[in-house]
Structure 1
Amino acid sequence: MWTHIAEAPILGHGISTDPNYIESIGTSAHNQYLQIILESGFLGISLFIIFLYQLWLLLRKNQNHFTGMLSSAYLIAFIFYETFEVTLFQNNFNIGLIQWLIITMGVKIIDPKKDGDCTKRTSIK
């Protein structure tokens, strides 16, 4: 992998590049971060890390809710899990969709005490 990453280190080989097509020996990245570097180079992995950090900041705003805490914990587990598998964008994308759903559930939590009770009807006079 590192040999092919070194061929195009800044912008990578292009999105959806599969290590199996580069080398015909049946290799796979089995690491989301190496796969991102192969596809979009160090520029792409830098943007991805910034994206994860921004997502973490959004989740930190809702740490006082169970859903926010659960989503934050799942994001940490997800970051670790992706060092062993490529589910985020390619191999098992259906699993990746479920992962994204669980992580982003904690981003926007409506607090009825803070935002007001949406079940009350207001009349216009």
Structure 2
Amino acid sequence: MLVVYSIVLAVSFLYFSNPNRVTRHRLLFFICLSMSLGAFTIVYADIENSYYLNDINEFLIKYTDRTATSGRQFLWPTIIDSIIKYPIFGIGAGALPSDIMYTELSSHNYYLQVALQTGFLGLLFSIFSIYVIWSRLVLHAYVDAKGAFATSVLLVFILHNVSEVIMFQNGLRVSVAAWVLLFISFSSTLNANLSKVGRQRTGIRSSHQ
């Protein structure tokens, strides 16, 4: 997975470095990304019943030495059933899969865990908050390499959280460092953009004098 995310990071860095790529359609891009992650979660939750499961496992074993059945296919259906039962407010903040089934594992999906705890209201608020941060980064990504890199890191973060709860709970040493990196990069990029705007305005005023 490290190789895959490294490739995603490199490709997205080049992609976000171009201001005309995602800037104009960042909301559509984010909606498509969110729907894709949601579809993946629903499909994977039922992977045990997939006609292609054996073929998928053979392919993954051949190239990654791992199978598609990681155990999440047992966690996610039960969590989804609980979300359906309590769709608006969830079963309560701080709730874990151990509250609805016999396990000591986390949800291994940040978005399912948020929905389990706070329902679709909490999930929508969480997704909106992530979008606001990501959208601001995209707007300034082309100013310098730090902005494009921060945007790419957040994209990898968003993708990785469909199979882990690393954004706020598991692996805090990684998540805290990633958040710090994101906001430092965003701050420096924003300052660079403000400085650029200031120089442009100064140039305009000078030309009129």
TM-score, with normalisation over the residues of structure 2?
0.51
The answer (yes or no) to whether the contact 1:33–1:45 under 8 Å persists in 2 is yes
Q: Give the alignment partner of residue 174 of structure 2, picking from 95, 98, 101.
A: 95
> Following TM superposition, by how much is the alpha carbon of 1:27 offset from its aligned partner in structure 2, in angstroms?
4.5
Instruction: Name structure 2 gaps, 5 residues minimum.
Output: 1-78, 200-209
Q: Give the alignment partner of residue 74 of structure 1, picking from 131, 144, 153.
A: 153
Match of 2:39 in 1: none
Root-mean-square deviation (CA), in Å? Answer: 1.9
Q: Distance in 2 between matches of 1:113 and 1:6?
A: 49
Match of 2:24 in 1: none
- Report how many residues are paired: 116
The answer (yes or no) to whether the contact 2:153–2:182 under 8 Å persists in 1 is yes
SS of structure 2 residue aligned to 1:91? coil
The answer (yes or no) to whether the contact 1:11–1:44 under 8 Å persists in 2 is yes
SS of structure 2 residue aligned to 1:106? helix
- Tell me which amino acid in the other structure corresponds to 1:39: Q
Are residues 1:49 and 2:131 paired? no
Are residues 1:7 and 2:85 paired? yes
SS of structure 1 residue aligned to 2:187? coil
Match of 1:120 in 2: none
Q: Distance in 2 between matches of 1:113 and 1:105?
A: 16
- Tell me which amino acid in the other structure corresponds to 1:59: L
Q: Distance in 2 between matches of 1:82 and 1:97?
A: 14
CA deviation vs aligned residue, 1:27-71 (integer Å, no higher than 9, x gap)? 431011100100111001111111111112211232221110000
Counting aligned pairs with the same residue, the percent is: 28
- Tell me which amino acid in the other structure corresponds to 1:35: Q
